[in-house]
Amino acid sequence: MLRSVRAALAASSVLASLTFVTIPAKADPIFMPIALAAFNAGASVAVANAIIGVGVLGSIASTVGTIALGLGVSYVASLFNRPQQPKPSDGQVESRQAVPARVWHYGRVKVGGSLAFYESRGGALYKAILLSSRQVDGIEQLYLQDTPVTLDGSGWVVTAPWENGSNPLVRVATHLGTDDQTVDAYLNSAFSEWTSAHRLRGTAYAVLQCKSGPDTEFQAHYPSGEPQFSALIRGARIYDPRKDSTVAGGSGAHRHSNKATWEWSDNAALVVLDYLTHEDGYDRAITKMDMPSFIAMANLCDEAVALAAGGTERRYRVATSVALTEARKDVLARLLEACEARLYPTQDGKVSIRGGKWEAPTVTIDADAGHILETNFAPPDAMSRFNELSFQYLDPALSYIENDGTPWQDVADISATGQLVTVPADFVQIPSHSQARRLAKIRMARENSDWVGEVVTNLNGLNVIGERVITLKWPELDINGPYWVEGGPELLPDFSGVRLSLRSANSASYNWTTAEEGTSTSVPPDTSPDFNLTPPTITLSQIAGPKIRADWTPSQALNRAYEVQYRPDASGTYTAMAVAGTRDSAESGAVSPGLYQVRIRESVGVEAIGPWSPDYPITIT
């Protein structure tokens, strides 16, 4: 018996510590009288097993307070009232802090980072930006001033306005944070203080080297000052028990004890599992996780959902940044919210996960059978009801920042009342408008339920332990249908009954068609200056002198200017040619016979200078 009670304590204390409260140490004596009372009261075997397996959640509540995932707290209310999560756009800028917070990322996100090094030497500025305190799977796109840039084989930026022909200006090196990464070559070569021991293993970061170039072109190449860096990354690699052949139902090389076998995934259930077990998350042992439930939930998250535009997307994904300065319960809440899931204890003291889809109830509380002893039940307060749920989500089409989605509305209620009552929701950890709309539909149906309140049952109410939804039969109120279990079961202090917090459920809220998807806010037009000034094609000829003449068709934009240069061979020094006022030709000074190379570029004052064209050859005779 004592062994079973201790197992029960382990199960309940896991969930408690994942949320709001801490279970006092050496609390075993609290549970023994309650378990014995259940047997003495003649409870069914199922009820008695539930008491032992779960650890009598009611006892915990009366002893140490409320357990968010078990007792007396509205699930929906807890979502509305929790602190607002960080906005994705806030994390896309470089920050300067003496002691920056450690941050890592799940899914696919665009991030800036904290400056870890900032120094100039040899006419160049060097800076190192910390991207993640945990290894990332990959860096898919680099940005300077929020403009996508391309690198050549040596790491130099070849995108205007930071490229400068044969004299490039900005060089970028990235590091994924692997356990064996070596020192950054740029910093190591330029600064003796940055030695080979400065490897930043386990930390993903980027290093920028910025050269000034010609003084006359500084404003054109750096129109907004030093370039601000950001990157689109695939975040943390995580463990997938479905790919572990040592786990029942799994197959593959994944091993939780070997991070080198992990892979990137934005599957919401797998992200929850990672956060529960990671040393910087809840640091729970993987052996305390109920793997069958996490495998089932991961499979649900990977199910294909049809999209209105054609094709499909996976049902539940997540993309978010996790700062170690955040309360762990807030991080866990938004990860669970991404897949509409909750955590439950199992009879053997493990943490299981359920949710994301409708499950028909298997437990019934029936007033006619004498199960209900006391009630405090009523329709929700009319002042708390709403008929529109507005939300923001993470929009990949809008450079991975938050965007307004199409609000979910109760059209019938708006028509009947003539009023629009709006409540906002924060779904910026969700990288899909369709997924956010599906979750908005479920949330509105749950919060605007027909009945909500508490009932006190006899000990049959303990069969509700671990159930997400039950059937409630109450003929006096014409109630006979499914109800969410939002709190309980909680044993009364005198063990005479069990208190449950219930809310009427609607299975139709999980139904979905592509017609309900709505449309996200359109992406605004790009109003940034056009730095991609493609040089025109030139025609060369020899004129009297002898001189070199270049002709081209100029841009119709009158603010465009041209610069033309020539050199005597492929390794000589360029000399400027005189450009005609008509902007369509240029002439050199007198030249000697031989082979010459000519190039041209286009500019808009000092605001933007385009790239040089390839060299055009001409032989002067």
Confidence of residue 89 (pLDDT cuts 50, 70, 90): confident
Confidence of residue 523 (pLDDT cuts 50, 70, 90): low
Q: What is the mean pLDDT of residues 535-555?
A: 91
- pLDDT for 66 equals 29
Q: What is the mean pLDDT of residues 80-91?
A: 70
Contacts of 556 (CB under 8 A, 6+ apart): none
- How far CA 279 is from CA of 12, 99, 119, 282, 429, in Å, comes to 21, 21, 34, 7, 22
Helix (H, G, I), strand (E, B) or coil at 328: helix
Q: Report the DSSP beta bridge partners of residue 117.
A: 128
Q: Is the Cα dihedral 350, 356, 362, 366 positive or negative?
A: positive
- pLDDT for 526 equals 57
Q: What is the mean pLDDT of residues 298-302?
A: 96
- pLDDT for 235 equals 94
Pairing of strands 469-474, 364-366: parallel
- pLDDT for 161 equals 85
Q: What is the mean pLDDT of residues 235-243?
A: 96
Which comes out higher in pLDDT, residue 8 or 436?
436
- What are the backbone angles phi and psi of residue 79, rounded to the nearest 5°? -70, -40
Q: What is the mean pLDDT of residues 190-209?
A: 93
Q: What is the mean pLDDT of residues 382-397?
A: 86
Whether the pLDDT of residue 381 is over 90: the answer is no
- pLDDT for 528 equals 56
Q: What is the mean pLDDT of residues 69-92?
A: 56
Confidence of residue 86 (pLDDT cuts 50, 70, 90): confident
pLDDT in tens, 474-497: 888 888 999 999 887 888 888 889
Confidence of residue 525 (pLDDT cuts 50, 70, 90): low
- pLDDT for 452 equals 86
- pLDDT for 383 equals 66
Question: Over pLDDT 90: what percentage of the chain?
Answer: 54
Whether the pLDDT of residue 584 is over 60: the answer is yes
Burial of 119 (0-12, 13-18, 19+ CB in 10 A): middle
- pLDDT for 527 equals 56
**578-584: Cβ within 8 A, 24+ apart:** 582/554, 583/554, 584/551, 584/552, 584/553, 584/554
- pLDDT for 572 equals 81
Query: In this structure, are residues 8 and 54 in contact, taking their beta carbons and an 8 Å threshold?
Result: yes
- pLDDT for 50 equals 35
- pLDDT for 532 equals 63
- pLDDT for 246 equals 95
pLDDT in tens, 96-116: 777 888 999 999 999 998 999
Whether the pLDDT of residue 618 is over 70: the answer is yes
| Three-state DSSP string of 504-528 | ECCHHHHCCCHHHCCCCCCCCCCCC
Confidence of residue 595 (pLDDT cuts 50, 70, 90): very high
Q: What is the mean pLDDT of residues 10-26?
A: 37
- pLDDT for 269 equals 97
Query: In this structure, are residues 315 and 301 in contact, taking their beta carbons and an 8 Å threshold?
Result: yes
Whether the pLDDT of residue 286 is over 80: the answer is yes
Q: What is the mean pLDDT of residues 428-434?
A: 94
Which comes out higher in pLDDT, residue 523 or 578?
578
Whether the pLDDT of residue 55 is over 90: the answer is no
Whether the pLDDT of residue 135 is over 80: the answer is yes
Amino acid at 285: A
Least confident interval from 454-468, 503-517, 573-587, 596-610: 596-610
Question: Over pLDDT 70: what percentage of the chain?
Answer: 83
Confidence of residue 256 (pLDDT cuts 50, 70, 90): very high
- pLDDT for 43 equals 40
Confidence of residue 217 (pLDDT cuts 50, 70, 90): confident
Mean pLDDT of the chain: 82
Q: What is the mean pLDDT of residues 399-423?
A: 90
Token pair for residue 11? 């199960």
- pLDDT for 607 equals 60
Confidence of residue 20 (pLDDT cuts 50, 70, 90): very low
State how far the Cα of 428 lies from the Cα of 113, in Å rounded to an integer.
19
What pTM was estimated for this model as a whole?
0.76
The helices-and-strands tally (H runs, E runs) of the chain is 12, 35
